[in-house]
Structure 1
Amino acid sequence: MFVWEGVSEFVAVAESESFTAAAKQLGISTAQVSRQVSALENRLNTKLFYRTTRKVSVTEEGAIYYRHCRQVMNGLAEAERAISERRDTPQGSIKMTAPVTYGEQFVMPLVNEFMLQFPEVEVTMELTNRQVDLVEGGFDLAIRLGRLSSSSMMARKLASRTQYICAAPMYFEKYGVPHSLSELRQHNCLVGNSDHWHFIESGRERSVRVSGNLRCNSGFALRDAALKGLGVVQLPDYYVAEDLANGSLVEILAPFREPEEGIWALYPHNRHLSPKVRLLVDHLAKACGA
């Protein structure tokens, strides 16, 4: 009869690693969350959390229990979606994630347009450059850039992007222009999330490890550094297309440029793609493709 009591509170604490944050998420008091979790531990006769004044973390038993509870809660959410989707007008919640900069600049404006068209749809967007677990996090949809590493996801290509190696004319005037991949190692390369840049040489993929005096996970910051002549940068077209067109940046090593990469919509294999999510993916594909 009481088997479900405390489970929602337990999952919220496990995911937020905080009783206070879990209480805020659930809209109840911290004391109530603590009571429910303690009652659950007593019922299971198992300690689910390690508690200190600074941190809350799951025990080994807590991690096992969390995985099962998360699956059950995802199943309940799926059941609610299945019911809501029987209605004619798309409504209900969509939880999605996208990379920070691309999400801010391109995805969210399109999502906002979609919500204007379907005002009964609620969207929770997590902008992060981490590769979050869609199933464990209960995500309906993810936008990913470039090569896909996971085969456990269904993917639909929304658009393409091209990576350019470029620098400001003032940099080349001072340090010269590299004409081969081996020469690239002699230059100050402005590094983003990876210090390996990928190329095509003699029809085969080649990875070159680069280095420089700036490492930053912001494409806008790297573009600004390149425009100011600090070094050579590799960035997608949506950062540098205008600069390349007006000559503020100059592309190099064009014969070695990789083919276009995909921009993808991903969703779990075991997650039914609901009509509202399918409509959103269609909307994104149409706009991104254009």
Structure 2
Amino acid sequence: MNWDGVSEFVAVVEAGSFTAASRRLGISTAQVSRQVSALEERLGTRLLYRTTRRVSMTEAGQVYYRHCRPLLDGLTEAEQAVTELQQVPRGLLRMTAPVTYGENIVAPLVNDFLARYPDLEVDLVLTNRRLDLVAEGVDLAIRAGQLEDSTMVARRLASRAFHVCASPEYLAVHGEPRTLADLDRHQCLRGTLDIWRFQEQGQPRQVRVQGRLHCNSGWALVDAALKGLGIVQLPEYYVQAHLDTGRLVPLLTPYQVADDGIWGLYPRTRHLSAKVRMMLDHLERNL
């Protein structure tokens, strides 16, 4: 395809005159006029009405402009993408992540990334509140679990497993639950929800549990489980170390729910900046 005259034509349409287009492109008005005229001759149709006062598009010009504008945008994005391959992340990157997962998993990886790229500044907000990324100017959100419908772009970075477990001391006194129905006879250490998630015969299953302790801190629930106060269901980053040492015992493993996703969410834009793209790559490699 011959691109001669396309940029000049689009510039004239958007700037409103040949003179303004020439300033925008950094070339002479005469050159802009020659290029547009040559384009019209090549296409065999008039694209612009020219008068001493104004320039307007013909019907053919309107059709041609609608097709050319996205093409020029695509060329710009292609150049930016290639250029950014050679770039390093710089400027401010605003991120958010859940509190516990952010403190223990995400923040250390972000710190490693900062140590590697001294031109980057990160504002990391740890909160369990789902921030509006566009309204609050957040470039990247780390989310765990099932995602809500949104206009955001989601990239799966890792997964997390949920474990049901209790201490050997608790099990010695109360016995081990073998079925989901057995949970009715046990002290269940509840977090923000009274519902525990399971999988039974390939289908998701939710079980409402009860117990003496209800707390919105995962670490408090782990401590209670270690002290023999009941059974807990928590993500692996709370309990895996204790499962490895035997201080907690896995329960109901045939009913264990399928792993949840750990996601990177960012606003849908035409081109992803180097700082967001490289941070996503770094988190995916290391999570």
> By the TM > 0.5 criterion, same fold?
yes
Residue identity matched to 2:127? T
Aligned to 1:266: 265
Aligned to 2:124: 125
Distance 2:129 2:104 in 1: 18
1:253-285 deviation line (CA, Å, top 9, x unaligned): 110001111111111224742111100110111
1:146 CA displacement: 1.3
Distance 1:249 1:279 in 2: 38
Query: 2:94, 2:139 within 8 Å by CA — same for their partners in 1?
Result: yes
Moved over 4 A (4+): none
1:47-102 deviation line (CA, Å, top 9, x unaligned): xxxxxxxxxxxxxxxxxxxxxxxxxxxxxxxxxxx9xx979332111111001111
Aligned to 1:50: none
Aligned to 2:229: 230
Aligned to 1:15: none
Aligned to 1:200: 199
1:159 CA displacement: 1.0
Query: 1:169, 1:250 within 8 Å by CA — same for their partners in 2?
Result: yes
Residue identity matched to 1:264? W
Residue identity matched to 1:146? G
Could you list the runs of 5+ residues in structure 1 that have no partner in the other structure?
1-81
1:126 CA displacement: 0.7
Distance 1:223 1:263 in 2: 22
Superposed, 1:1-290 pairs within 5 Å as: 88-270=87-269, 272-288=271-287
Compare CA radii of gyration and give the structure with the larger one.
2
1:286 CA displacement: 0.5
Residue identity matched to 1:173? A
Distance 1:275 1:144 in 2: 21
1:222-253 deviation line (CA, Å, top 9, x unaligned): 11110000111001111111211221111111
Q: How many residues align structurally?
A: 205
Distance 2:269 2:90 in 1: 21
Residue identity matched to 2:285? K
Change in Cα spacing, 1:281 to 1:202, as seen in structure 2 (3 Å) is: same
Query: 2:88, 2:274 within 8 Å by CA — same for their partners in 1?
Result: no
Could you list the runs of 5+ residues in structure 2 that have no partner in the other structure?
1-79
Residue identity matched to 2:156? K
Query: 1:191, 1:233 within 8 Å by CA — same for their partners in 2?
Result: yes
For the aligned residue pairs, the C-alpha RMSD in angstroms reads 1.7
Query: 1:90, 1:121 within 8 Å by CA — same for their partners in 2?
Result: yes
Structure 1, 210-219 or 123-132: larger mean CA deviation: 210-219
Change in Cα spacing, 1:231 to 1:269, as seen in structure 2 (3 Å) is: same
Distance 1:271 1:231 in 2: 50
Query: 1:140, 1:271 within 8 Å by CA — same for their partners in 2?
Result: no
TM-score for both structures, normalised by structure 2: 0.68
TM-score for both structures, normalised by structure 1: 0.67
